[in-house]
Amino acid sequence: MVLNSFFREGLEEAMKEIGFIKKTRHYIHPQCHHLFIDFPGTAPLGIGKDYNIKPEEHLVDGSKIKILSPTDCVKDRLATYMYFHDRDGLDQAVLVAQKHPVNFKSIKKWCANENNLQVFEEFFKLLKK
């Protein structure tokens, strides 16, 4: 999720109310240690070397939230795999692509720009299984 300046106040309390605890810049839930929620600040939102990320806007209970598109979510998870060697990132990218329509051409181009086309090939191979 991408923060707007008006949403910063009360964030920690709201997350605590639904069971999340702040750990560094992320929020974790004690019953689900392998997932976390990250609220990037107002600095340019980037995935790898790409700083031209435009979050999608969705209306939820009368409030507009900004969140990564499924395609950008896949890129973000693949970046975790590329740069931190976190296999969960690759598996999560596959799960997102299985559940939501994504732009494979855009993901492949992004991987090539990150000098990691082999990650796209691995991702796509897993997705076909």
What is the pTM assigned to this prediction?
Answer: 0.74
Rounded Cα distance between 40 and 28, Å, is 15
Query: Would you state the pLDDT for residue 89?
Result: 93
Q: Per residue of the chain (129 residues), give pLDDT as tens.
A: 555 555 567 788 888 999 998 887 788 898 887 777 877 665 677 899 998 888 899 898 888 888 899 999 999 999 999 999 999 999 999 999 999 999 999 999 999 999 999 999 999 999 998
- Domain borders along the chain are 5-67, 70-128
Instruction: Give Cβ neighbours of residue 123 (< 8 Å, ≥ 6 apart).
Output: 74, 78, 90, 93, 94, 97, 107, 111
- Measure the CA–CA gap between 114 and 106, rounded to whole angstroms: 12
Hey, is 109 helix, strand or coil? helix
